[in-house]
Amino acid sequence: MSLVLRAATPADVPVIRDLIEGLADYERLRHECIATDALLHAGLFGERPYAEVVIAEWDGASAGFALFFHNFSTFLARPGIYLEDLFVRPAHRGRGVGKALLRHLAQLAVARECGRLEWSVLDWNVDAIGFYEKLGARAQDEWTVYRVTGDALTLLATDEG
């Protein structure tokens, strides 16, 4: 049995969508998942790619993925890597796939001279929190995430907002 990590290609878009849908089911957020192959292709492989994906394969079958992008720390004056999504299919959990994906991102961060690797986790996901803490990650409890979406985003973008 072998684990292979590789950068996603445009041909992987259906697999990426399937993995995203698996993550949405796990996080109980499937009702918010409107990703399509066309949207993913444009966002990941279009004229201006917004994110990168690493696919984990176990014996040639997709086992998981990490979707990430660069951000920038003004205090460090260096880029960082933000891990948007990490998902390992249930059948492949406990085999080191998640750790291998995070190690790969850490290696990319070091190679790209990034100042940090960070991500968010749902507060009810105690298994993931425990896993991340075992790897040396620490919660940033003093920060609160804010988000503007949908009609509120549209309103903010206008003179009315």
For the annotated catalytic residues, the residue numbers are 132
DSSP letter for each residue of 40-77 = HHHHHHSSS---EEEEEEETTEEEEEEEEEEEEETTTT
Q: Which two tokens stand for residue 91?
A: 């059948």
- The H-or-E segment that residue 87 falls in is strand 78-88
Q: Which residue has the tokens 């105690």?
A: 126
- For residue 107, what are the CA distances in angstroms to 19, 80, 104, 113? 23, 12, 5, 10
